[in-house]
Structure 1
Amino acid sequence: MVKKIIAVLLLVGFLSYALWQGLSPNEASDNSNLSEYKDLNIKKGDSARQASGQAYGLEPKDTAPPFTLSDTSGKSVQLSDFKGKKVILNFWATWCPPCQKEMPDMQAFYEKYGNDVQLLAVNLTSSEGSKQAVSKFLKEKQFTFRVLLDDQDSVGSKKYRVSTIPTSYFIDEEGKIVQRVNGPMTLKQMENFAQQAAS
């Protein structure tokens, strides 16, 4: 509860600051600094991150970065353990309502396609109260798919450049990213990926 209140206060503060900066009359009329950007090939609609060259997340055809994380039972898991299989890599947290929304579909998918497609739900454990809170959440909701714990934030934001959750990557048998889904996945999206012919 305290985390939610702090998050809301930070969001309100950030939005207030952004609004104040956006309405500043001095900056609106000052175009003197624009000349240094004219050769950067920045188009209208590009985000600040795109314009600075830092892409949001990984893109289709990128190779999925390798990682090693522990699952909720303490077993060490590497992405390379699943070479030759399709993988859905999902980044989530227990306190995230959109994450909670997609999880029943993930469970249904796991029960139907779990032998054909490896579903790995990477919990951003560094944002949670504890590892035990994650296990308790999974037990209460009766989710049985494999959950990995990113307790050092070494995979989510660093290797996969996840900045919003849920974010999911569909990875083919060769370890290439086929699709990135920002926001909750649907059962249909997961089934379509499972039914695609091998690349």
Structure 2
Amino acid sequence: MKKRKFKISDIIFVGFIILLLIPQTRTPIQVAVNKLKVAVWSPSLEDANDQDQVAPFQYAVTDLQGASRNVAVGEGKVTFISYWATWCPPCIAELPGIQQLYDAYGDRVNFLLLTQETPEKVERFVRKKGYELPIYFPQMQTPAILQENSIPTNYVIDAQGTIIIKETGAADWNSSKVRNLLNELLAK
């Protein structure tokens, strides 16, 4: 039997696997891999025949400071909804793009970044990363039409309640495709 010689690529592969097994290095590696996906993956528009309609409703939420409020969805204003978590590598990877989109459109689009985590944990995460996003904690059952078992799941809903984009997994939310769509929806 011929003895196999180790190559440098074998050593790198074994090292990579070991890094994935160590909890402290696993998440940064997963975030980096998802950032590569975000760099090339722009959200897809729903096919016109497949677009669902959200009945107008008020999303009951609590903000990071504990204040309760209701945010209108499908009631005359474009809405961006993101279901996410601080421990989710694809969520972490796409947040910089969401922050850039919010910076550009936050005054004209309802942004709802919804998480089930504790406010203290989310506050530490946001402070550490330097995000200034409208993060909320749902105080009601998610409407059936917006229920999804995966995070991140993001929606762009027009002013009449039509779901224009439903994207599960990390994506580039600051792409020209998304910006053009928002500009078009806001011009209506």
**Which TM bucket (shorter chain)?**
0.5 to 0.7
User: Paired residue for 1:44?
Assistant: none
Equivalent residue in structure 2 for 1:172, among 146, 158, 162: 158
Determine helix, strand or coil for the equivalent of 1:80: strand
CA–CA distance in 2 between the matches of 1:169 and 1:184? 12
One-letter identity of the residue aligned with 1:91: Y
One-letter identity of the residue aligned with 1:103: L
1:155 counterpart = 2:142 = yes
User: Paired residue for 1:60?
Assistant: 51
Equivalent residue in structure 1 for 2:112, among 95, 116, 120: 120
User: Paired residue for 1:14?
Assistant: none
Equivalent residue in structure 2 for 1:136, among 97, 112, 124: 124
Equivalent residue in structure 1 for 2:134, among 146, 151, 154: 146
Percentage of matched positions with identical amino acids: 27
TM-superposed deviation, 1:111: 1.1
Contact 1:65 1:160 in 2 (8 A): no
TM-score (norm 1): 0.60
TM-superposed deviation, 1:178: 1.5
CA–CA distance in 1 between the matches of 2:80 and 2:152? 12
CA–CA distance in 1 between the matches of 2:55 and 2:153? 14
Residues 185 and 117 from structure 1, CA distance in 2 versus in 1: closer, same or farther, beyond 3 angstroms?
farther
Q: Which string of whole-angstrom CA distances, capped at 9 and with x for unpartnered residues, describes residues 23-62 of structure 1?
A: xxxxxxxxxxxxxxxxxxxxxxxxxxxxxxxxxxxx6232
User: Paired residue for 2:80?
Assistant: 88
TM-score (norm 2): 0.63
TM-superposed deviation, 1:74: 1.6
Determine helix, strand or coil for the equivalent of 1:115: coil
Determine helix, strand or coil for the equivalent of 1:132: helix
Structure 2 residues not aligned, in runs of 5+: 1-22, 24-49
Q: How many residues align?
A: 137
Equivalent residue in structure 2 for 1:99, among 70, 77, 91: 91
Contact 2:78 2:158 in 1 (8 A): yes
CA–CA distance in 1 between the matches of 2:74 and 2:127? 25
CA–CA distance in 2 between the matches of 1:78 and 1:99? 24
CA–CA distance in 1 between the matches of 2:120 and 2:51? 34
**Which structure has the higher relative contact order (CA within 8 Å, separation 6+)?**
2
One-letter identity of the residue aligned with 1:101: A
Equivalent residue in structure 1 for 2:69, among 77, 87, 100: 77
| Aligned-residue CA RMSD (Å) | 2.6
